[in-house]
Structure 1
Amino acid sequence: MDRIAVLTSGGDAPGMNAAIRAVVRAAVMFDMQIYGVYRGFHGLIEGDFIEMDASSVGDIIHKGGTILKSSRSEEFKTKEGRMKALSNLEEKGIDGLVVIGGDGTFQGAKELSDMGIKTIGLPGTIDNDLHYTDYTIGFDTAVNTVLEAVTKIRDTSTSHEKATIIEVMGRNCGDIALYAGLAGGAESIIIPEDPISTDHVITKLKAGKARGKQHQIIMLAEGAGQAADLQKILLEKAKMNARITVLGFIQRGGDPTSFDRILASKMGIKAVELLRAGETNKVVGIKNNALFHMDISESLTASRLFDHDMIKMTEILSI
């Protein structure tokens, strides 16, 4: 393994730069040539490569986003697109590839592995929706971004004695809402894995108001509904005019937390070590604070072990 490349694909996540940095510097340490691929799989098809060295990734560990940019490529989903990507990799003499992204990125990595390019995947997504691993790169930062917003929203909610619905990202995974809601003292957390009825939400809101609560926070995961719909229901059923905050892409930005920087660094080095050992079609994850690797196909079909105890904690703490 003499020459490898690294790319980021799909939605960006804080910590991707830390992962790129780790991959590049590990490759340099092991006397490998290392290339960056701009704009993910689209860059593979276009041959948009840049040779990198240790200084190429200086002063980026603390920065959000990805210096290699990211995109989604419909062309790569076709056989013709993948053949173009393979041809460009072979022309550069690239033996191995590290891909950083979510489930769609992993599927693309599997396709390349099947075509003969050794590939290792790193989980980079704020959603934490890759079920094989406890945490994905970017999730901790996103939770802390939401938590900071909750703290500020509570101030104005208290001043006006109103309930606020905060809609957060996560696709069909409610982890951002769950973790930020629990840490932020939300009265209700609505997530797709453990949905609660609007009647239950209303009951809690009324009980809180009856005992003098000056504010109420309802944390809503986007996979469980839309804030505007819930606002309408609360107004119609309980005559409560709740405010809405949809945080949107602010959750993807910002400097990564120390947890994400360290996790990304560990995973980036591990990916290069796996390539050196001749491994392919693998993804790196973390379980019980220890790194491990497994087949990409297995990672994509892993079942979710949802922590229902965290929801129970919310019910206890928000009485």
Structure 2
Amino acid sequence: MKRIGILTSGGDSPGMNAAIRSVVRKAIYHNLEVFGIYYGYAGLINGDIKKLEIGSVGDIIHRGGTMLYTARCEEFKTLDGQLKGIEQLKKFGIDALVVIGGDGSFQGAKKLTEHGFPTIGVPGTIDNDISGTDFTIGFDTALNTVIDAIDKIRDTATSHERTYVIEVMGRDAGDIALWSGLADGAETILIPESEYNMEEIIARLKRGRERGKKHSIIVVAEGVGSGVDIGKEIQDKTNFETRVTVLGHIQRGGSPTASDRVLASRLGAYAVELLISGEAGKMVGIEKNQLVYHSIDEALAKKHSVDEQMYQLSKELSI
């Protein structure tokens, strides 16, 4: 193996640049050439590929987003699109590929491996919804962004004695909602993995008001439903002044935390080590602070699960 490629795909996450830097410099350290593939699988199909040097990844470890840009690509889901991508890899003499992204990106990496092209996946998504790793690159940064926002909203909630519903990202996974809600003392946390009972929520809010509590915070993962609709229902049933904040894409941006920078650096370097050792069709991860790898097939087949004990704790502490 003489040349490896690297691309980022799907939604961006803070720490992707740190992972790119790690892959490039680890590979060059082992006398490999590295080629950056711009705009994800769409760029792969179009041949938007350039050689990267040590200096190409200088001054990016602290930057959010991805210097390689990213895009979603329906064409790569087809056999024709996949073969076009492999042709481009062969054209540039690239022997193996590192893919940084979430489950959709891993689906593409799986297909490349099935076509005989060695690929390693690096989990980069703020949702923390990839099986086979305790944490994904970008989750910690997004979590801290949400916590900072809720802290500020709580100041206003206290001043105006209001109930606030805060909608966070998480279409299929409730980790952002659960972790931020627990960290910020939310009275209620709604996640896609667990059904909720609106009457119980209303009863909890009323109990709090009866004992003198003047404001409440409710964190809702977007996969549960519209925060606006939930807020309206709460106000209609309690007559408490209720406001809704949808945090949206602010959660994806920003300088990565120290945790995400270190995680990205470790996972990126480990991906290169696996390629050098002849592995393919694997994803790297971290479990109990130890680097691990699993087959991408296994990671995709096993559904991410939320920490039920943590969710129960959030309920016990919000009485």
Q: Which secondary structure state, in structure 1, belongs to the residue aligned with residue 223 of structure 2?
A: helix
Letter in 2 for 1:140: D
Q: Which secondary structure state, in structure 1, belongs to the residue aligned with residue 146 of structure 2?
A: helix
State the match for 2:2 in structure 1.
Answer: 2
CA distance in 1 between counterparts of 2:21 and 2:241 reads: 48
Q: Which moved more, 1:191-200 or 1:23-32?
A: 191-200
Q: Which secondary structure state, in structure 2, belongs to the residue aligned with residue 224 of structure 1?
A: coil
Q: Which moved more, 1:20-29 or 1:219-228?
A: 219-228
CA distance in 1 between counterparts of 2:87 and 2:51 reads: 18
State the match for 1:306 in structure 2.
Answer: 306
Q: TM-score, normalised by structure 2?
A: 0.98
State the match for 1:51 in structure 2.
Answer: 51
Contact 2:143 2:176 in 1 (8 A): yes
Q: Which secondary structure state, in structure 2, belongs to the residue aligned with residue 219 of structure 1?
A: strand
State the match for 2:296 in structure 1.
Answer: 296
Contact 1:231 1:241 in 2 (8 A): no
Where in structure 1 are there 5+ consecutive unaligned residues?
A: none
State the match for 2:182 in structure 1.
Answer: 182
Letter in 1 for 2:93: G
Q: Which secondary structure state, in structure 2, belongs to the residue aligned with residue 279 of structure 1?
A: coil
Matched, 1:148 2:145: no
How much does 1:75 deviate?
1.1
Matched, 1:284 2:287: no
How much does 1:312 deviate?
2.0
CA distance in 2 between counterparts of 1:304 and 1:15 reads: 21
Letter in 2 for 1:202: I
CA distance in 2 between counterparts of 1:305 and 1:8 reads: 25
Contact 1:186 1:216 in 2 (8 A): yes
CA distance in 1 between counterparts of 2:73 and 2:243 reads: 37
Q: TM-score, normalised by structure 1?
A: 0.98
How much does 1:143 deviate?
0.5
CA distance in 1 between counterparts of 2:52 and 2:212 reads: 60
Contact 1:75 1:81 in 2 (8 A): yes
Q: Deviations over 1:171-204 (max 9, x none)?
A: 1100000000000110110111123211111111
Q: What is the alpha-carbon root mean square deviation over aligned residues?
A: 1.0
CA distance in 2 between counterparts of 1:192 and 1:303 reads: 13
State the match for 2:74 in structure 1.
Answer: 74
Q: Which secondary structure state, in structure 2, belongs to the residue aligned with residue 223 of structure 1?
A: coil
State the match for 1:231 in structure 2.
Answer: 231
How much does 1:116 deviate?
1.8
CA distance in 1 between counterparts of 2:68 and 2:278 reads: 25
CA distance in 1 between counterparts of 2:252 and 2:90 reads: 34
CA distance in 2 between counterparts of 1:13 and 1:48 reads: 21
Letter in 1 for 2:143: V
Letter in 2 for 1:41: Y
State the match for 1:12 in structure 2.
Answer: 12
Contact 2:4 2:97 in 1 (8 A): yes
Task: Give the alignment of 1:1-319 within 5 angstroms.
Answer: 1-319=1-319
Letter in 2 for 1:271: A
Contact 2:171 2:192 in 1 (8 A): no
How much does 1:305 deviate?
4.1
Q: Deviations over 1:215-261 (max 9, x none)?
A: 21000011111111112211222223310000000000001111111
Letter in 2 for 1:25: R
CA distance in 2 between counterparts of 1:293 and 1:85 reads: 25
Q: Which secondary structure state, in structure 2, belongs to the residue aligned with residue 104 of structure 1?
A: helix
CA distance in 2 between counterparts of 1:107 and 1:281 reads: 10
CA distance in 1 between counterparts of 2:119 and 2:111 reads: 9
Q: Deviations over 1:273-315 (max 9, x none)?
A: 0110111101001111111111111110114343211122212
Letter in 2 for 1:176: I
Contact 2:173 2:304 in 1 (8 A): no
Q: Deviations over 1:153-177 (max 9, x none)?
A: 0011111100000000011100000
Letter in 2 for 1:27: A
Contact 2:173 2:306 in 1 (8 A): no
Letter in 1 for 2:105: T
Once the two structures are aligned, what percentage of the paired residues are identical? 55
Contact 1:128 1:170 in 2 (8 A): no
CA distance in 1 between counterparts of 2:315 and 2:245 reads: 22
CA distance in 2 between counterparts of 1:286 and 1:231 reads: 37
CA distance in 2 between counterparts of 1:274 and 1:32 reads: 14
Q: Which secondary structure state, in structure 2, belongs to the residue aligned with residue 67 of structure 1?
A: coil
